[in-house]
Structure 1
């Protein structure tokens, strides 16, 4: 097995929920984390959210105070691309839009050191195709974290056709060093987890669309009948209905199979801006406590 390179500094591009979670896990396990976003206010909000996360860990007895303060000190804002020049590994965690991701890679490659590894947190897009938009397809890999990153134990590693063995070995060592279990997927649309999970959610939406059951019946059925911790419609709201739709579209286009056709009701909810928890409305209305089903 080729020798893995040591990762000391990790840059995270995208200061949303996923990027923030990735930087928290990175810092908790002793790596320096640089958080970059085009929106500077999001960088500051991400760092504040991470400080709050670590202080809650202390309050609940999950982490000693000194370790938490050290982790907080390891997370720094990167307010220009040039600040990422020291990174050994860059993890892109922007929205699931191929055009946006390609632009990120084109821009960041101009400042990275030659041996830096570039990774994407994409949940469905072709690693090979994304790698082709960079100056280092051999040092490009998919490192797909699950949401919420500090809680979920899995990382999917996905090699593109040009990813070299040293990059794979380094990414695997890194993922294990931050306490994750690694599963390896081939570079096919949506990889393993979302190839199974998102069509199940889409089928739950079809079940609602066709009037087989209402929101509450479907979610209760899967929680108590299949022992799922969260019903599929509640989970869709948590993931984001726009993300669910994007992944279904990738599956439908990439595999050309009608079984992956996105449910028209999912499309309608996204068109309405009912994107789930982040929009306060999806299959549930989160403006109420407890949240109320919308159908």
Structure 2
């Protein structure tokens, strides 16, 4: 049987990641609604998704017309929009209290058999599920930035996640034209834990004067065939995001994930990477 995605998909949060997730489901045939906290944020999310759709059309990677695609796309500020969705993916910032309150608010309006997922890159899926009324209908769907170009989605299984839901999630990922990596819930899962470990060591090497950021990155790109080096990737992800993940992993897994001083200093100076124009690189 050919895998398919849910017909109606909601995305909570329309930043870079949320817009990318919305785009992925939209061009794969779903009707998609992005819900944001206020009208200016919703309009900004609309522009991000439309821009991403236009780029896909220019590359010739979608068969539908722009008009047809955008007829299936909407933005809103009311959580009630999620009532008709078969799947909602939460994509708000990596703050525990915000994640919990957002997920609880979404669950309150969803159908009982609908699926709720978090795009968290490091927080405990089992811990988040414990705050919900229907933990068996919850799992992690960790998309990667930039979503349109990335071929990986990490499917994170919580302690109470229904086994049939995991199989369904694999099918959704395949229908999106991506590959699923299924992991049991653990701090940092597989991807963030490995990615952050490499990035933190690269930062320490810059701090110690071992080599420049460019040369460290080139060593990984040319020697290990990484598409981008760990420091450039950190700039793309956001130094503040990487710091938050490192602090969480430090608390959960010990000193090997202690964030280097150079990372803390750059974040304190507002040098967060590509989104601010300066991080380990100038953008």
Calculate the TM-score normalised by the size of structure 1.
0.90
Q: CA deviation at 1:265?
A: 1.0
Q: Which runs of 5+ in 1 are unaligned?
A: 287-295
Q: CA deviation at 1:6?
A: 6.8
Q: What SS class does the counterpart of residue 190 from structure 1 fall into?
A: coil
Aligned to 1:268: 265
Does structure 2 retain, via aligned residues, the 8 Å contact 1:25–1:178? Answer: yes
Aligned to 1:11: 10
Q: What SS class does the counterpart of residue 128 from structure 2 fall into?
A: helix
Q: CA deviation at 1:124?
A: 0.5
Alignment pair present for 1:285 and 2:282: yes
Paired residue for 1:119, among 117, 127, 142? Answer: 117
User: How large is the RMSD of aligned CA atoms in angstroms?
Assistant: 1.7
Does structure 1 retain, via aligned residues, the 8 Å contact 2:20–2:52? Answer: no
Q: Structure 1 stretch 183-192 or stretch 167-176: which is displaced more?
A: 167-176
CA distances 1:153-178 after superposition (whole Å, capped 9, x unpaired): 11111111111122222222222221
| Cα separation, 2, equivalents of 1:101 and 1:262 | 23
Aligned to 2:28: 29
Q: What SS class does the counterpart of residue 142 from structure 1 fall into?
A: strand
| Cα separation, 2, equivalents of 1:272 and 1:223 | 28
Q: Classify 1:139/1:274 alpha carbon distance in 2 versus 1 (closer, same or farther; 3 Å).
A: same
Q: Classify 1:5/1:276 alpha carbon distance in 2 versus 1 (closer, same or farther; 3 Å).
A: closer
Q: What SS class does the counterpart of residue 112 from structure 1 fall into?
A: coil
Does structure 1 retain, via aligned residues, the 8 Å contact 2:141–2:153? Answer: yes
Q: CA deviation at 1:135?
A: 1.1
Aligned to 2:48: 49
CA distances 1:258-291 after superposition (whole Å, capped 9, x unpaired): 21111111111111111111111111122xxxxx
| Cα separation, 2, equivalents of 1:219 and 1:200 | 11
CA distances 1:82-140 after superposition (whole Å, capped 9, x unpaired): 11111111100011111110110121222111111110000001000001111111101
Aligned to 2:127: 129
Q: Which runs of 5+ in 2 are unaligned?
A: none
Does structure 1 retain, via aligned residues, the 8 Å contact 2:125–2:185? Answer: yes
| Cα separation, 2, equivalents of 1:269 and 1:58 | 38
Paired residue for 1:161, among 159, 162, 165? Answer: 159
